Amino acid sequence: MPRSMFAFPSLYTATLLMLLGSGLLTTYLALRLAAAGAASQAGWLMAAHYAGLVLGGKFGHRLIAQVGHVRAYVAAGGVVTAAVIAHGLFEWIGAWLPLRFLIGLSMMCQFMVVESWLNEQAEPRKRGRVFSIYMTASYLGLALGQLVLVLRPGLGLEPLLMVALCFALCLVPVATTRSIHPAPLTPAPLEPLFFLRRVPQSLTTVAMAGLAIGAFYGLGPIYAQAQGLDTREVGLFMTTCVFAGLVVQAPLGRLSDRFDRSLLIRLIAVALVLTVLPLGLLPRPPLPMMLAVGFVVSLLLFALYPLAVALSNDHVEQERRVALSAMLLVVFGVGACIGPLVAGELMNRGVPRLLYLFIGACALVLVWRVRPQDVRGLHRVDEAPLGHVAVPVAMAGSPLSVALDPRVDEAVVQEQMQGEAQPAAEPPPESDADGASPAAPVAADGTRGPE
């Protein structure tokens, strides 16, 4: 039965601990590589992590179908904890790459379990609120992960132990839950050709956001260290930037519901191109300037993905919004895999500031490609514009997160992600196993047209 959004704080706690550990690990590994003179490899680590997240959707679904939600979550958490500790056993970057891939793969499975449970227990009229709290827990966890390095700036094994501790503790609230298992959800199949025709500007925005955000998370600590900051100051810089992603959500929602979203994307892209210049051109800006400009850059950067999601939903019918969410996540993930590699190669030229010029170049593509006049009078769904919904960005979210989006009708979720023919039965108390139902095919009708 659906419950109040405050009936499952354990899921929010588990999410916060997961993202705290993940955020700390990403920054710590980048600084460790820089200290060892191997900063050029940091982009590959971030790419491996996002590759695991992208491929983890299929893996997570199969694992949950075979062993149930609790067992899948605990097994994935065990793999993450072991992989984190293994980073301390190997100094070879070649061993860290598969470990980062395993962490991404397993974390996606954990996200799928949490989001399935949130969807099961959230009342339909409270899904937006539940999604908002989940987003807040995600961003807060990422920010707190950076803050750890401010409080404990050492680069020994202690940060790795703290990451492992977070992932071990996040198992407790899920493993001890007394709630019934949620109905198994199935990620919708992708329809790339349809969405390329219908929402090309949204896909372009998501791809550029993925390139830039992936590069920032993987290489931002190395940029900050190259600018002369010590470990504590790098942690402060990253905390300030990540916290901007949480701060921007409320004002962004108000702007998104009042103004044309494609125009907002273009204006934000223009502002981003201009704002990155101090960090991209000045050789050693003072710390206060780095914090202030970095906060504004991240504020603008983290606004792109939620705006693209809102814009795309304005042009896609209800029956296709489940597939749309999966498509946007895949495009973002692929971009986040490529971004750290490209930006890393640019930084290897000996100019770490090129990271922010790369982010500016991604924004410049949006200035060129996203044009508000191109969408006027073209296909829009009957209920457009829809209300803006804050969504987790970067290292949180799975193909099942659409089930919590209030813009998607619950009946569509039931039909496409659970299946109408075989409703999930409550498993016996002594068993963690639960069955999987095949995904119902996504409807093929609907007017086709550009965004």
Q: How far is CA 47 from the centre of its chain?
A: 14
pLDDT at 397: 67
For the CA atoms of the chain, what is the radius of gyration?
21
How many C-beta atoms surround the C-beta of residue 38 within 10 A?
Answer: 13
Please list, in sequence order, all residues whose beta carbon lies within 8 angstroms of the beta carbon of residue 14, skipping any fewer than 6 positions away: 110, 114, 170, 171, 173, 174
- CB half-sphere exposure, 189, CA atoms < 13 A: 10
Q: Which two tokens stand for residue 149?
A: 């390095």
Helix (H) / strand (E) containing 140: helix 127-151
Q: Which CATH class is domain 8-418?
A: mainly alpha
CA 118 from chain centre, in angstroms, equals 17
d(CA 301, CA 24): 21
Tell me: the pLDDT tens digits for 281-331? 988 899 999 999 999 999 999 999 988 888 888 888 777 777 888 888 889
pLDDT at 373: 58
Q: Does a cis peptide bond (omega within 30 degrees of 0) precede residue 385? A: yes
**66-86 pLDDT per residue, tens:** 888 889 999 999 999 999 999
Return d(Cα 365, Cα 342) in angstroms, integer. 15
SS3 at position 178: coil
Q: Which stretches does DSSP call E strand in 127-221?
A: none
Q: CA-to-CA distance for 267 and 260, rounded, in angstroms?
A: 11
- Euclidean distance between the first and final Cα of the chain, in Å? 39
Taking all residues of the chain, what is their mean pLDDT, rounded to a whole number?
82
pTM above 0.75, yes or no: yes
Residue ranges of the chain with per-residue pLDDT less than 50: 1-7, 376-377, 420-450
Residue 122's φ and ψ, nearest 5 degrees, are -85, 130
**Distance from C-alpha of 330 to C-alpha of 117, rounded to nearest angstrom:** 22
pLDDT value of position 445: 39
Give the type of residue at 302.
F
User: How far is C-alpha 439 from the chain's CA centre?
Assistant: 24
Tell how far CA 184 is from the center of its chain. 22
